Amino acid sequence: MASHQQSQLHFLLLPFPASGHLIPMTDIGRLLAQQGILVTLVTTPHNAARVEAVVTRAVESGLQIRLIQLKFPSEEAGLPDGCENPEMLPSQDLILNFFAATALLQQPVEKLFEELIPKPNCIISDMCLPWTASIASKFHIPRISFSGTCCFCLLFIHNLRVSKVLENVTSESEYLVVPDLPDQIEITKAQVSGRLTTRVKGFTEKVAAAEMESYGMIVNTFEELEPEYVKEYRNARKNKSGALALLHYATKMTWTRHKGVTRPQLMNITA
């Protein structure tokens, strides 16, 4: 048994605590478990309740998935007690407090890592949890990031950041073209003003730095949906380590339910 534990791959999955991030990450966990990999999915009590039935069915079918709950430090970050999901925020003005709360999970996750048997061989982390790059580095294992959005959005944000095209714009209402996109997309500075605050820019820089250290990225999209944006985002990542993989729906789908919402089960990952 001990030799089997030492040889079996073990992936630690750390989703961002929001439904649009948690559900596809849970599906990734099932995909990995179907390949004989031990999966540990870590989230908070409220969010665990959303996927507990899905994980239970997977375990009953013979898959090795563990669902571990960690207390969410909402009050420590200035949020109401028990506020574990952006949907529970009394005001979206507290969203940066919510991100700060997720960063406070770093020490509990590190402690959990040290206690897990067998030790994880890889971390798959939501890209909105850049501090997981430090954990991967500390324990000398690869980190793969996960994006719940599409390549259009990722390329849009990337090009805005690296081009610094907004820095010389004084008008809040003047339209400008986002550079190096397959299509001509025009925006105003006012439309993205929320991303220009010091706190938001500081967070996006942390995300970008973590991506430079990552082994690769999984994106919740498929090539037929946005072929040009997949191609261009791959090109934009050429100076970053690792590959870009796409999580997509198979032609033959089985159906499952997440808290009463019927949706197709994710079946495979393609590079």
- List pLDDT tens digits, range 65-91: 999 999 999 999 999 999 999 999 999
CA distance 174 to 28: 42
Task: Give residue-wise pLDDT tens across range 185-226.
Answer: 999 988 887 665 677 788 888 998 999 889 999 999 988 999
User: Is 126 designated active site?
Assistant: yes
Lowest mean pLDDT among 1-15, 20-34, 123-137: 1-15
Which one of 10, 21, 27, 158 is the catalytic residue?
21
Q: Is residue 235 part of a domain?
A: yes
Q: Is residue 82 part of a domain?
A: no
The pLDDT-based confidence of 4 (bands split at 50, 70, 90) is low
- Burial state string for 143-157 with b = 16 or more CB within 10 A and e = fewer than 16: bbbbbbebbbbbbbb
Q: Is residue 259 part of a domain?
A: yes
pLDDT at 37: 98
The pLDDT-based confidence of 92 (bands split at 50, 70, 90) is confident
Q: Is residue 89 part of a domain?
A: no
pLDDT at 254 over 60: no
Q: Is residue 26 part of a domain?
A: yes
Task: Give residue-wise pLDDT tens across range 13-68.
Answer: 999 999 999 999 999 999 999 999 999 999 999 999 999 999 999 999 999 999 99
If you ran DSSP here, which 8-state letter would residue 182 be given?
S
Q: Which tokens belong to 151?
A: 């390549």
Q: Is residue 199 part of a domain?
A: no
Contacts of 136 (CB under 8 A, 6+ apart): 123, 125, 142, 143, 213
Output the CA torsion 223→226→232→233 (10° steps).
-70
pLDDT at 268 over 60: no
C-alpha separations of 204 from 56, 137, 195 in Å? 35, 20, 9
pLDDT (average), residues 149-156:
94
pLDDT (average), residues 258-263:
42
pLDDT at 252: 36
pLDDT at 105 over 70: yes
pLDDT at 266 over 70: no
pLDDT at 247: 78
Whole domain around residue 56: which residue ranges? 2-70+105-151+214-270
Number of domains in the chain: 1
CB 242, CB 219: distance < 8 Å: no
pLDDT at 197: 67
Q: Is residue 180 part of a domain?
A: no
Q: Which amino acid is at 127?
A: M
Which one of 126, 158, 180, 248 is the catalytic residue?
126
CA distance 168 to 182: 23
Instruction: Report the CATH number at residue 42.
Output: 3.40.50.2000
pLDDT at 122: 98
User: Is 258 designated active site?
Assistant: no
| Helix%, strand%, coil% for the chain, nearest 5 | 45, 20, 35
Q: Is residue 207 part of a domain?
A: no
* Portion of the chain with pLDDT greater than 90, in percent: 67
Could you tell me the pTM of the whole model?
0.85
pLDDT at 169 over 80: yes
